[in-house]
Amino acid sequence: MQKGEEAFLLTWSILMNQSVSRLPSRERASMKLVFGTWLFTSLILTIVYRSNLKAMIIIPKETSPFDTLEELIHFPIPQAIIKYTTLHEIIDGAEANSTVGRLKEKLYLLSSARQSQIMADIFRGKYVAMGPMSTMMGIIHGHYSKTGSCGLYMMSRGFLGPNSLCFAFPKGSHLKPDVDKVIQRLRAGGIIQHFMNGVLSNASHCTKATVYTASSLTTRNLKIYNFYGVFSLFCAALKTYRTPKTTNRQTRLALLKLHLPPLLYFPNLNSPPFLPALVLLRKGRQQRHLTTKKGLHRTPKDDRASTRHLTRLLKFEPFPELQ
């Protein structure tokens, strides 16, 4: 096999998580550095690819007719808010040509005294309710607690920015600096958000889904060219995997074990027959042979006798059969 083809197969096998024929153990340090860098890069690529595939399968997806304020303006159902709230004042005071100001065209004002009727109308799809995120999360939590299903949808992000809650103190109160420090520490440590998630746990469960809008979600039928990439990777993996051919030079060898049939090899024919230069074992060989300058000689079949002969050989003791 040429070096270029061998290097390509080695590189591609690592990327495809296949076994490699050899490792660059005898190469230069620069080659080992490149090989280790490619191992680390392939690990990152395969982990990211598999994670994305799992996320596409596991994470739930929902399709909504709108997810931005511009899409909400063109939605035919009217938007309902509670009268005399902060949100009502912001929308009512916005410019007519602005995005927030255009919400006044289909704005439906409701009274807080009709809360039960408002909730029933929202569940029937009569209105699109607008309000603070904490209020919307509370409605979703209550609906899931009663029905056991996520029947309400909430936009993935707000359009008026974060709102703040505050405590009222008398002017010049000495309690304000101490309370400010406590609230800042709780917020920085995530304690407030942790408490909110604990109280509204069902709402957090319903907002895990990835949202797709009608304008961004397009579907089409699969064609044969959609699978060209998969087929090319499969063919490359098949080319990478090769069954090793068994030849005389490629005989698989392992270190000698006394309980397996040994094959003793003397590369130098001028060396004494009792001085081995290398001890190897050929897998799958059933008979014991001793290679010397006199040729092949079968050793006794008894395991204990074979062990004694091998012990003499390793201790540089001559075999009585060869003298």
pLDDT at residue 306 tops 70: no
Percent of the chain with pLDDT over 90: 1
Question: Helix 228-240 to helix 3-15 angle, to the nearest 10 degrees?
Answer: 120
Name the most confidently modeled range: 135-139, 174-178, 294-298.
174-178
In degrees, to the nearest 5, what angle opens at C-alpha 64 toward C-alphas 63 and 67? 125
Q: How far apart are CA 258 and CA 281, in angstroms?
A: 10
Q: For residues 216 and 61, what is the distance between their CA atoms, to the nearest angstrom?
A: 13
pLDDT band for position 48 (cuts 50, 70, 90): confident
Q: Cβ of 162: how many Cβ atoms within 10 Å?
A: 7
What's the Cα-to-Cα distance from 277 to each of 254, 313, 316, 317, rounded to whole Å? 15, 11, 11, 14
Query: For residue range 74-102, what is the model confidence (pLDDT) as tens digits?
Result: 888 888 888 888 888 888 888 888 888 88
User: What is the pLDDT averaged over residues 231-248?
Assistant: 52
Lowest mean pLDDT among 69-73, 109-113, 126-130, 240-244: 240-244
